[in-house]
Amino acid sequence: GLPTIQKTRLGWIVGGRTSYAPQGQTERLTFLSTTERISSQLERFWNVEEVVDKKHLTSEESACEAHYLQHTRREEDGRFTVLMPLHTDPSELGSSKETAQRRFLQVEKRLERDANLKKQYSGFMKEYEDLKHMERSSESESEGKVEYYLPHHPVLKTCSSTTKLRVVFDASAKTTSGKSLNDIQMIGPTVQSDLFSILLRFRQHTF
């Protein structure tokens, strides 16, 4: 008739008959269990393992973002235009006309040997001009101004089902000062997620 103890998955329990005889003194037992330590450990684990979304920008990247916010506008036709972000005064660029002319003559010789390529190339340039991505200028208009001539050349991708011809504008071409247009531009932050974050994304917890 004595109580017995039994081990269960939840721990030891006491069972059996008890006496209903009145007792002169009542004993109370209180048991409190908390998982706060486990929760805090798990939280710290996730904080260590989780990829931080907040990016730490350099001073140039922050300046580039601020530049785009201040100088981006939308035209009446819906297009967005932005002033080119430069970290160096463009007056430091040297002459680029001779290099651009020499490379253009090389492209012209290539086009003369391929009538189909010449047709596609001329069509691309005409479309660029019609879309007002570029405009004709004379030497008198550019006199006294800082100018940079962009060399360009065709790149053919015959296996492409959409655009077989792509015209590449080379802003890395050096001027007589040894600097190119790309050299004086700010480098903004990467807007895409880094490869490490992408690879770990499927392993992160849902919530």
What digits encode the pLDDT tens for the residues 124-137? 999 999 988 888 87
Within-domain flag for 61: no
Q: Which residue has the tokens 């190119």?
A: 180
Give the pLDDT band (50/70/90) at residue 54.
low
* Residue, of 127 and 26, whose pLDDT is higher: 127
Q: Report if residue 103 sits inside a domain.
A: yes
Q: In sequence order, what E strands does 11-60 have?
A: 11-15
Tokens read off for 117: 């390529």
Does the predicted TM-score (pTM) go above 0.75? no
**Confidence bin at 115 (pLDDT 50/70/90):** very high
In a domain, 113, yes or no: yes
Residue 63 counted as domain residue: no
What's the structural domain count of the chain?
1
Q: How many of the other CB atoms lie within 10 Å of CB of 152? A: 18
For residue range 156-196, list pLDDT tens digits in order: 887 877 778 899 999 999 999 999 999 999 988 887 777 87
DSSP state, residue 152: E
In a domain, 97, yes or no: yes
Domain of 106 in residue numbering reads as: 86-184
Burial 42-71 (b: 16+ CB within 10 A, else e): eeeeeeeeeeeeeeeeeeebeebeebeeee
Position 53 scores a pLDDT of 59
The region of weakest confidence among 1-15, 45-59, 74-88 is: 45-59
Q: Is 128 a domain residue?
A: yes
User: Residue 112 phi/psi, 5° resolution?
Assistant: -65, -25
99 inside domain: yes
Compute the distance between CA of residue 17 and CA of residue 77 in angstroms, rounded to an integer: 89
- Residue 49 in domain: no
